[in-house]
């Protein structure tokens, strides 16, 4: 059976998430000022651990890392008080080696 699940994410360089095998990552967006990832799963499949990477605009990405990343989504953060700037985060799935 297919179902869409929502996962809370942290704005951190890399984090592991358990997903069902062969899932479809639909998007990452902000909800209530926090990042979430929506994923469509076939719940009859086995669970696997994947790594999600978050890279801010302007942060360097070395060539080896670039080849192992599959783009998911770009998300803009709200300006944290008292600053008047928005940050932009680019989210990637780290592919197995």
Question: Alpha-carbon distance 25 to 38, whole Å?
Answer: 6
Return all residues near 2 (Cβ < 8 A) that are at least 6 apart. Answer: 40, 41, 42, 43
Cβ neighbour number for residue 51 with a 10 Å cutoff: 15
User: pLDDT (tens digit, 0 to 9) for every residue of the chain, 97 residues total?
Assistant: 899 999 999 999 999 999 999 999 999 999 988 999 999 999 999 999 999 999 999 999 988 778 899 999 999 886 666 666 678 999 999 998 7
Give the pair of three-digit tokens for residue 48. 């696997």
Q: Would the pTM of this model clear 0.85, i.e. be above it?
A: yes
Q: Is the peptide bond before 82 cis (omega within 30 degrees of 0)?
A: yes
């Amino acid at each position: 059976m297919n179902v869409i699940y929502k996962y809370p994410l942290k704005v951190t360089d890399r984090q592991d998430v358990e997903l069902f095998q062969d899932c479809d990552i639909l998007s990452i967006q902000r909800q209530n000022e926090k990042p979430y990832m929506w994923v469509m799963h076939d719940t009859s499949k086995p669970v696997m651990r994947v790594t999600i990477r978050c890279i801010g605009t302007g942060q360097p990405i070395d060539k080896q890392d670039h080849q192992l990343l599959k783009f998911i989504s770009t998300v803009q953060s709200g300006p944290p008080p008292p600053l008047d700037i928005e940050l932009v985060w680019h989210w990637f799935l780290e592919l197995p080696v």
